[in-house]
């Protein structure tokens, strides 16, 4: 085993696309996400790292889908809560993102996650995020993580800080 551990090194490379031709700050959050959904902008690198994808959106609502692998297992033999929380944080955050005006940005201030049932590798899941309320400086959202059969695995609520891009 070398210094990188038992896993093969994976080079990481991400370049903001269309940076010379498209001013993302001039687009609404919904327009930015629509470009990602249409494949005209790549997803955020975390989506590839964690293994999920944006599959549906409307203003104030997003859906991500993913399927956990054994690579995200915890020592007790189920999907690590961090994988679930990351997917729910993305759903909550992008629900807020979908309602941003041009020139706005956001960051998560608080995420509360409740785990309802253990999740196993190979189980396809959908995380649906919904905007609850958006103000000038704060936005509130919620998300749930369900199997395709409707089984509820986890829920989350989030508070996001809304700010002007600098």
Mean confidence (pLDDT) of the chain: 91
CA distances from 147 to 71, 77, 142, 153 (A): 19, 18, 17, 7
Q: Determine the pLDDT at residue 14.
A: 54
Tens-digit pLDDT profile for residues 105-124: 999 999 999 999 999 999 99
Which 3 state secondary structure label does DSSP give 53? strand
Residue 8 has pLDDT above 70, yes or no: no
Q: In the CATH hierarchy, which fold is given to the domain comprising 24-164?
A: Thiol Ester Dehydrase; Chain A (3.10.129)
Domain range summary for the chain, segments of one domain joined by +: 24-164
Residue 16 has pLDDT above 80, yes or no: no
Whole-angstrom distance, CA of residue 92 vs CA of residue 163: 17
More confident residue, 15 or 41: 41
Q: Binning pLDDT at 50, 70 and 90, where does residue 5 land? A: very low
């Amino acid at each position: 085993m070398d210094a990188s551990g038992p896993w093969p090194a994976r080079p990481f490379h991400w370049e903001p696309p269309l940076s010379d031709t498209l001013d993302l700050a001039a687009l609404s959050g919904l327009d930015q996400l629509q470009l990602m959904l249409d494949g005209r902008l790549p997803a955020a690198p975390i989506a590839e790292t964690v293994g999920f994808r944006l599959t549906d959106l409307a203003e104030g609502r997003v859906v991500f889908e993913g399927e956990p692998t054994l690579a995200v297992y915890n020592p007790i033999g189920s999907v690590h809560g961090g994988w679930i929380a990351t997917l729910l944080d993305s759903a909550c955050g992008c629900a807020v993102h979908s309602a941003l005006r041009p020139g706005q940005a956001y960051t998560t201030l608080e995420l509360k996650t409740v785990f309802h049932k253990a999740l196993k590798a190979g189980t396809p899941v959908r995380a649906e995020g919904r905007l609850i309320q958006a103000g000038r400086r704060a936005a509130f959202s919620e998300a749930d993580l369900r199997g395709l059969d409707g089984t509820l695995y986890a829920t989350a609520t989030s508070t996001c800080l809304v700010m002007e891009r600098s």
